[in-house]
């Protein structure tokens, strides 16, 4: 694998950073220790500017090339937060925080971008400016949105932005990407059916919310099977069903169901929201009760820009010899907020074909992916903004 020699030299050091972060996970915007370590290292590397507190606990660093006459400014983004999962890896450096672990590899993403920042600050073999972005709260908190709302793009004049995620199941150090819609929009719904509770022996005296909610669970699946164009993507999942009574002989007054909606286009996102509200209102009225639907819009569709994706793939091929077309991913990714602000590309790097998948208590980022990931970051800069 033709990775940069400097990252072979730095491999043990970067892996040590990663393992320290793994041992001390922090969730959502509570990345105070992580952000402090990132800022301290960027300052040690001699960056031209290091700013904390962007998007609450985000960190931004600026590296100017040997020349800046090109006027180009590229953003490189890594996420820092962990997940509320209790680790079961048995590693020597396993999480010391009960109920929190780096189960998605953000420790690896942060360490790799730190490694790339160190190399770029040492060499500065490019004509332009690099903005390294360390983001909190990717796992459901919308940290990318908050950094953008704090002026991330305009303050540093970022023109295009690149991101990376490790991917278990892909060969170690390989790459995959796709143009256009890549990761799904992720929304949530919370629906409360209210009827008239009563004794289970007298259902005729009640308005049965359990039957209403059960009908809704099935009917919501018709959004995908009967409302959506078969070539479009939508996943509606009811994930929680809770009644207001736990008794075996009581028909409950209320039933609450919750779930998620995942779509790959604005049109399908709008359709899904509309149909959920219509279906549930209809069911409530049919059975003589009511349905109160709250719909929360989460991360938008993460869209890779055509030109930046082609460039990102070419860089990957220069490192690993290939770059496969990635499948659509129905999970969410809040790099989407950055990609809405500026054209960008988000790539997958192989974490190896063995081991647990992300968001699993036995998952662990593979340190052997570090040279490939760091090399990709560095090559994005040096090939996009070649030195004069």
Residue 47 Cα distances to 39, 60, 122, 155, 374, angstroms: 10, 10, 9, 17, 17
Kind and range of the H or E run holding 17: helix 5-23
d(CA 269, CA 300): 9
Q: Are residues 195 and 152 in the same domain?
A: no
Does 137 share its domain with 280? no
Determine the pLDDT at residue 388: 80
Q: Do 62 and 208 have their domain in common?
A: no
**Do 172 and 59 have their domain in common?**
yes
Among 282, 299, 316, the domain-final residue is: 299
Type and span of the H or E element at 269 = helix 266-286
What pLDDT was estimated at residue 1?
A: 47
Query: CB–CB of 363/168 below 8 Å?
Result: yes
Same domain, 332 and 193: no
Tens digits of residue pLDDT in 133-183: 999 999 999 999 999 999 999 999 999 999 999 999 999 999 999 999 999
User: Is the pLDDT score of 2 beyond 80?
Assistant: no
In tens, the pLDDT along 296-311 reads 999 999 999 999 999 9
Q: pLDDT value at position 34?
A: 98
Last-in-domain residue among 254, 283, 299:
299
Q: Which residues pair with 243 in a beta bridge?
A: 255
My answer on whether 221 and 137 are in the same domain is no
Tell me which of 41 and 4 has the higher pLDDT: 41
Residue 4 confidence (pLDDT)? 84
- Read off the pLDDT of residues 215-270 as tens digits, 9 standing for 90 and up: 999 999 999 999 999 999 999 999 999 999 999 999 999 999 999 999 999 999 99
Host domain of residue 77: 5-181+301-384
pLDDT for the residue 3: 75
Task: Give the span between the Cα atoms of 45 and 20, in whole angstroms.
Answer: 18
Same domain, 284 and 321: no
Extract the tokens encoding 269.
């996102």
Contact 130, 343 (CB under 8 A): no
Q: Are residues 16 and 141 in the same domain?
A: yes
- Helix (H), strand (E) at residue 106: helix 106-123
Average pLDDT over residues 53-73: 98
Are residues 272 and 332 located together in one domain of the fold?
no
Same domain flag for 39 and 123:
yes
278 is in an annotated binding site: no
pTM of structure: 0.95
Query: 199: annotated binding-site residue?
Result: no
Task: Give the pLDDT confidence score for residue 345 in this predicted structure.
Answer: 98
- Listed in sequence order, the residues at least 6 apart from 89 whose beta carbon sits closer than 8 Å to its beta carbon are 361, 362, 363, 364
Identify whether residues 293 and 313 lie together within a single domain.
Answer: no
Q: Is 11 annotated as a binding residue?
A: no
Q: What CA–CA distance (Å, rounded) separates 319 from 382?
A: 13
DSSP letter (8 states) at residue 386: B
Taking residues 333-346, report their average pLDDT. 98
Annotated ligand binding at 360? The verdict is no
Q: Which two tokens stand for residue 350?
A: 């192989």
CA-to-CA distance for 223 and 286, rounded, in angstroms?
Answer: 19
Pick the last residue of a domain from 266, 299, 332: 299
359 is in an annotated binding site: yes
């Amino acid at each position: 694998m033709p990775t940069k020699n400097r990252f072979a030299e730095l491999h043990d050091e970067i892996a040590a950073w990663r393992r320290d972060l793994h041992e001390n996970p922090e969730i959502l915007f509570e990345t105070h220790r992580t952000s402090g370590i990132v800022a301290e290292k960027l300052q040690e590397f001699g960056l031209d500017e290091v700013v904390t507190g962007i998007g609450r606990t985000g960190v931004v660093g600026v590296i100017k090339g040997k020349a800046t006459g090109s006027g180009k400014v590229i953003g490189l983004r890594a996420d820092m937060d962990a997940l509320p999962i209790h680790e079961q890896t048995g590693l020597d450096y396993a999480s010391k925080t009960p109920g929190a672990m780096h189960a998605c590899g953000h420790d690896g993403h942060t360490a790799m971008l730190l490694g790339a920042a160190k190399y770029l600050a040492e060499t500065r073999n490019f004509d332009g400016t690099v903005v390294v972005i360390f983001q909190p709260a990717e796992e459901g908190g919308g940290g990318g949105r908050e950094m953008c709302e704090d002026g991330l793009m305009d303050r540093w004049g970022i023109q295009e932005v690149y991101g990376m995620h490790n991917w278990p199941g892909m060969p170690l150090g390989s790459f995959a990407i796709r143009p256009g819609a890549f990761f799904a929009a992720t929304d949530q719904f919370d629906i409360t059916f209210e009827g008239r509770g009563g004794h289970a022996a007298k259902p005729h005296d009640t308005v049965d919310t359990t039957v209403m909610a059960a009908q809704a669970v099935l009917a919501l699946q018709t959004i995908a099977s009967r409302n959506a164009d078969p070539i479009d993507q939508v996943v509606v999942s009811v994930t929680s069903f809770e009644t207001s009574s736990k008794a075996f002989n009581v028909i409950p007054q209320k039933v609450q169901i919750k779930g998620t909606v995942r779509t790959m286009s604005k049109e399908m996102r709008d359709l899904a929201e509309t149909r959920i509200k219509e279906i549930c209102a209809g069911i409530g009225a049919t059975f003589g009760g009511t349905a109160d639907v709250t719909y929360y819009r989460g991360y938008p569709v993460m869209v890779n820009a055509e030109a930046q994706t082609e460039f990102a793939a070419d860089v990957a091929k220069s490192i690993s010899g290939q770059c496969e077309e990635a499948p659509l991913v129905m999970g969410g990714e809040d790099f989407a907020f950055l990609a809405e602000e500026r054209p960008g590309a988000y790539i997958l790097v192989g974490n190896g074909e063995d081991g647990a998948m992300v968001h699993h208590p036995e998952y662990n980022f593979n340190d052997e992916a570090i040279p490939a990931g760091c090399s990709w970051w560095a090559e994005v800069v040096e090939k996009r903004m070649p030195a004069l």
